[in-house]
Amino acid sequence: MSVLLLNASPKNNGATQEIIKIIQSQLPSNTVSEIVCLGDLTINYCVGDKSCYETCTCILNDDMASLLKKMNDADTLVIAAPSYWADVPGQFKVFIDRCTAYSNTNPNLAHKKFKSGKKCYAIALRAGTRPIECEHIIQTIEHWCDHMEIAMAGSMYFCSINNKNDIDNLKDSILEKSREWFK
């Protein structure tokens, strides 16, 4: 099994990365896994050119192509995103925009496809106490999965997370949930 864990925060050493590292630590021994943080990549804004509607190829040349290849190669994706202004961080929204060549949004247009059978698990976290922002982020990831024809297989979210130290108390529940996911 191969698992790509995407940290959709711009930060590769924050609370999101901590959650992702805990999940990676308990993956079955025969798993090949890699953590990728969007903040470590150069992914430029979609410029709305729309030629990808016809060509199924993006005109921009940056780290997006290699990220999409890694995602295609993986059997399972784990995507974790913190709330920034009650929504996904800008880097993650840019990533989603740049997936348009793969999107089945318009049934009359051709699109690229990931290999079939891919699953995705979604994780959201926020500093505030109410779940609603986390639920919105999970829905955003689910929406992306729908249009990429990836099965959304599960989710978890965490409120009251201000920094990575807040993850210490959650380690057991993260491990328990991810063991369920990858049993």
**Residues of this chain that bind ligand FMN (CB under 6 A):** 9, 11, 14-17, 82-86, 125-128, 133, 161-162
Distance of alpha carbon 125 from alpha carbon 44, whole angstroms? 25
Provide the minimum distance between the beta carbon of 129 and ligand FMN in the complex, in angstroms, as a whole number.
8
Closest CB to ligand FMN among residues 99, 137: 137
Provide the minimum distance between the beta carbon of 91 and ligand FMN in the complex, in angstroms, as a whole number.
10
Count of residues for the chain? 183
**Number of H-type helices and E-type strands within the chain:** 6, 5
CA 85 to chain centre: 18
- Provide the sign of the torsion angle of the four alpha carbons 164, 168, 170, 176, taken in this order: positive
The phi, psi pair for 127, rounded to 5°, reads -85, -35
Q: How many Cα atoms sit within 13 Å of 35 on the Cβ side?
A: 21
Provide the minimum distance between the beta carbon of 131 and ligand FMN in the complex, in angstroms, as a whole number.
10
Provide the minimum distance between the beta carbon of 112 and ligand FMN in the complex, in angstroms, as a whole number.
30
